[in-house]
């Protein structure tokens, strides 16, 4: 039996790679792709998701456009990392995007979850606005969620401020709703994703496959590498979002601790921080499994084998 999933994303280079992994890996059944404002506007992230689907011939998965801004705050984008299109680098101007689903993403999330047998895992790789909005509009979906595997947060140092990781910082109120929902959550933080470095060797292995999809991934990573070198000084780019997909395919690929995670929504210096109670100081029950380690070789084997399978 394949695991049913919904990918909620904001493509974004690493979101695009996560989408390609989610759509092709034989252990997963991708029911829908929902898009949200994050790395770029929801109009651009939706177009990017549709173009990725077009490149990879992912034809039978609905792509639904979601929330255009956070629950309580203006939208803030990651143009310095992902460019003006949100997916700068590969030449996509000639790629005709597939059509959007007629439903709003929040409506589609609610419909699919209410119709389910509680066997759908949500994989959010952007701000959690769509997920939180769906929970607020229809609380009956919450017990229908099998689990949530999200890319976001950090145990220690952030990447958009000294305290916060981008996805949580972009909509901390939504993150607070999701972390308080009571469903099993795997949090894949920067401590994990910064181990998933797409080295030049990885990029060359993708190009050596000689197929359109692996070449497209290599082109994405080439741009992403330049961004991370210029902004953060990284020798190779970390591909954050596929780690949350890999954690569903093989839960043992990420080592983690059970702990309570609170979301800072008011701090002057700490807005968007995932406050991880590693030592149980609050006395609050654990609400997430927080990753700290990644089986790096196993992770890249999983990704490369999946991309090799594309025609």
51-81 pLDDT, tens digit each: 999 999 999 999 999 999 999 999 999 999 9
Q: Does the structure show a pLDDT above 90 at 248?
A: yes
Pairing mode, strands 63-65 and 185-188: unpaired
Residue 259 parent element (H or E): strand 254-263
* Confidence at residue 93, expressed as pLDDT on a 0 to 100 scale: 84
- What's 59's domain CATH number? 3.90.245.10
As a whole-number percent, the residues of the chain with pLDDT over 70 amount to 100
Closest CA to 237 of 220, 249, 250, 253: 220
pTM: 0.98
Beta carbons of 298 and 242 less than 8 angstroms apart: no
What average pLDDT does the structure give for the chain? 97
Residue 239, Cβ neighbours under 10 Å: how many?
26
Sorting pLDDT into bands at 50, 70 and 90, what band is 255?
very high
Question: pLDDT tens digit string along 198-223?
Answer: 999 999 999 999 999 999 999 999 99
Asked whether residue 258 carries a pLDDT value surpassing 90, the answer given is yes
Listed residue (48, 39, 62, 67) closest to 130, CA to CA: 67
Q: Residue 97 above 90 pLDDT? A: no
> In terms of residue numbers, what domain contains 224?
3-308
* Complete edge-to-edge strand list for the sheet that includes strand 145-151: 63-65, 28-35, 3-9, 120-124, 145-151, 185-188, 288-294, 254-263, 274-277
Which of 10, 15, 241, 277 is flagged as catalytic?
A: 10
- Each residue's pLDDT tens digit, 259-290: 999 999 999 999 999 999 999 999 999 999 99
10 given a catalytic annotation: yes
Domain tally for the chain?
A: 1
pLDDT digit string, tens, across residues 119-168:
999 999 999 999 999 999 999 999 999 999 999 999 999 999 999 999 99
The per-residue pLDDT for 105 is 98
- Position 264 scores a pLDDT of 98
- Whether residue 311 has pLDDT greater than 90: no
């Amino acid at each position: 039996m394949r695991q049913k999933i919904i990918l909620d994303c904001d493509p974004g280079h690493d979101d695009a790679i996560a989408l390609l992994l989610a759509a092709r890996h034989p252990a997963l059944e991708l029911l829908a792709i929902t898009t949200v404002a994050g790395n770029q506007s929801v109009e651009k992230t939706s177009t990017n998701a549709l173009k990725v689907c077009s490149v990879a011939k992912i034809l039978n998965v609905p792509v639904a456009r979601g929330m255009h801004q956070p629950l309580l705050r203006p939208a803030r984008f990651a143009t310095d990392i992902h460019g003006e299109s949100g997916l700068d680098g590969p030449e996509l101007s000639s790629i005709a995007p597939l059509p959007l689903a007629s439903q709003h993403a929040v409506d589609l999330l609610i419909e699919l979850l209410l119709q389910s047998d509680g066997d759908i895992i949500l994989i959010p790789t952007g701000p959690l606005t769509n997920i939180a909005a769906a929970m607020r509009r229809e609380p009956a979906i919450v017990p229908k969620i099998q689990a949530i595997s999200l890319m976001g947060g950090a145990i220690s140092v952030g990447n958009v401020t000294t305290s916060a990781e981008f996805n949580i910082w972009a909509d901390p109120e939504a993150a607070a709703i999701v972390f308080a929902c009571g469903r099993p959550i795997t949090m894949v933080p920067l401590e994990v994703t910064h181990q998933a470095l797409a080295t030049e060797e990885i990029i060359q292995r993708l190009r050596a496959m000689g197929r359109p999809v692996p070449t497209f991934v290599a082109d994405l990573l080439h741009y992403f590498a330049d961004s991370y070198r210029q902004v953060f000084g990284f020798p190779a780019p970390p591909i954050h979002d596929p780690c949350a997909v890999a954690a569903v395919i093989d839960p043992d690929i990420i080592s983690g601790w059970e702990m309570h995670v609170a979301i800072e929504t008011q701090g002057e210096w700490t807005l968007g921080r995932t406050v991880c109670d590693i030592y149980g100081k609050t006395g609050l029950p654990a609400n997430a499994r927080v990753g700290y380690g990644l089986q790096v070789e196993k992770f890249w084997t999983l990704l490369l084998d999946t991309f090799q399978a594309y025609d």
